[in-house]
Structure 1
Amino acid sequence: MNLLVETHNRVRTLTFNRPDALNAFDEALYDATAQALIDAADDPEVAVVLLTGTGRAFTAGTDLKEMAQRVGDPDFVPGRYGFPGLIDALVAFPKPLICAVNGLGLGLGTTILGFADLAFVSTAARFKCPFTSLGVAPEAASSYLLPRLLGRQDAAWVLMSSEWISAEQAVDIGLAWRLCEPHELLDVATRHAEQIAQQPISSLIAVKRTMNEPIRGQIDAARDCENAAFAELMGGPANTEALTAFAEGRAPDFTRLPAGA
């Protein structure tokens, strides 16, 4: 199974389980995760959701092999929810969401933390938003949520540079809350999740609603802007060069592209 689901003490743990693909999101994993969040939101026995991953990655974001297929195959069939549906589920999720980042977090593996109420990171974790190196735009309302979470300049570096951010840096700039040794990560995150889960679910939902409702309009506007930019850039010269370079196992060369591309 590409997503493991376990519930204990009113905490539902969702574990990304494509370790051979660094837990990258293909359409099946997007669908499974979106459905699991919808189910957890509706389950009166679930107070908190905890996200983590198997192997050496939290998630490597979008599966680039499938992205290349989507660009090049007119017959590509998207999933029921896909990426947009997963983000819809994250935006709408009414209960506390905790992330335990066990390893690499690329793309959505970083931007999903904008939706986390608490984020715990292993010292083995590293983060990257590779949007510019893929010739595309930000995603998941990160153009709004990351400046709000990190401050404009740290967010600009994360979103523009396509450089790695260490676990220590992530905590320093506010991307994550607590730094843990790898063997302690899940225990620490679960302990905090279970402590929160002892509280009345109605009150937890009220707290999250009062925190999030004032910014829902900005999140929606950011997503609309990002989606338009992504649609414009996907399949364009820079994105094509990035995906070709990935398939060929080389670094992309954007210097040969037409001016402005």
Structure 2
Amino acid sequence: MSEPLLRIEDADRVRTITLDRPKALNAFNEALYDALTDALLEAAEDPAVAVVLLTGGGRAFSAGTDLVEMGERIANPDFEPGRHGFIGLIDALEAFDKPLVLAINGLGLGIGLTVIGFADLVFMADDARLKTPFTSLGVAPEAASSYLLPRLIGRQNAAWVLLSSEWISAAEAKEMGLVWRVCEPAALMPDAHRAAAVLASRPISSLREVKRDMRAPLRDEIRRARERENDGFARLMGGPANAEALAAFAEGRDPDFTNLPPGW
């Protein structure tokens, strides 16, 4: 019997969803993409849920895509994707029309950062760290982050986040406008739930209308950005840079991109 991948609790019309693959630092494999997508779809339809609060169990918010499974996907032509997969999760996040609050604990890599583009309020523990490791993995951005991050934090901040693959501290994330509040670790969940409960005390119909109106001007650009990114990811995944990055991960070393073919 497979272990549950999420913990779900309801209080004050707030549904708290906790990613629960702590041994894998809540890295997203196909099963977790499916589980979170289903949870968001269910919360969207549940009339008793006004707000969703998303956090991670254990030492991490999310370590991003499961690199072991990424390697298997590249190596195995018969790899079976999930029912929703990564694209299904991003569709669910983009369509989610109730407030989404994040409480970022520990590490947030890849989707553990780019999910911020779809959130309405973001809380972050002061000892947490974020990064998008796309260039260190030899791949392209994801989740419309090439559009949403420049809009959220400005072009140069977004360029550093997306191009450098460097860690971003909680203080830096707050200064950039990437997160709304920075909290002591012990206060993270109480503070995030308190704000979520304030939102949840308002009429769901009004919350939905405000969110729809705020998101409406972005939808076409999000779709176009995702198409560009998905095309770039497909072209780069399994290429020389990505192969070196995955080999380095498997061997426990830093990748060396200095001897790639010209242009890579």
TM bucket by the smaller chain? over 0.9
Which residues of 2 match residues 37-76 of structure 1 at below 5 A?
Answer: 37-76=40-79
**Counterpart of 2:68 in 1: which secondary structure?**
helix
From 149, 153, 178, the equivalent of 1:150 is: 153
Displacement after TM superposition at 1:2 (Å): 1.0
One-letter identity of the residue aligned with 1:207: V
TM-score after normalising by structure 1: 0.99
From 122, 128, 132, the equivalent of 1:125 is: 128
In 1, distance between residues paired with 2:244 and 2:87? 24
In 1, distance between residues paired with 2:83 and 2:170? 34
In 2, distance between residues paired with 1:193 and 1:230? 34
Q: Does 1:10 align with 2:40?
A: no
Displacement after TM superposition at 1:76 (Å): 0.7
Displacement after TM superposition at 1:146 (Å): 0.3
More displaced, 151-160 or 3-12?
A: 3-12
In 1, distance between residues paired with 2:184 and 2:17? 20
Percent of aligned pairs with the same amino acid: 66
Displacement after TM superposition at 1:75 (Å): 1.3
**Counterpart of 2:40 in 1: which secondary structure?**
helix
In 1, distance between residues paired with 2:261 and 2:151? 34
In 1, distance between residues paired with 2:121 and 2:108? 16
CA deviation string 1:139-163 (max 9, x = no partner):
0000000000000000000000000
TM-score after normalising by structure 2: 0.98
In 1, distance between residues paired with 2:213 and 2:103? 24
- The aligned counterpart of 1:182 is 185
**Counterpart of 2:83 in 1: which secondary structure?**
coil
- The aligned counterpart of 2:115 is 112
From 86, 98, 108, the equivalent of 1:95 is: 98
- Residues matched between the structures, number: 261
Displacement after TM superposition at 1:111 (Å): 0.4
In 2, distance between residues paired with 1:97 and 1:230? 27
Displacement after TM superposition at 1:124 (Å): 1.4
CA deviation string 1:4-40 (max 9, x = no partner):
1111111001100111101000111000000000000
In 2, distance between residues paired with 1:198 and 1:69? 45
In 1, distance between residues paired with 2:224 and 2:184? 38
- The aligned counterpart of 1:173 is 176
Q: CA RMSD in A?
A: 0.5
**Counterpart of 1:184 in 2: which secondary structure?**
helix
From 239, 242, 251, the equivalent of 1:239 is: 242
* Deviating 4+ runs (over 2 angstroms): none
In 1, distance between residues paired with 2:69 and 2:9? 28
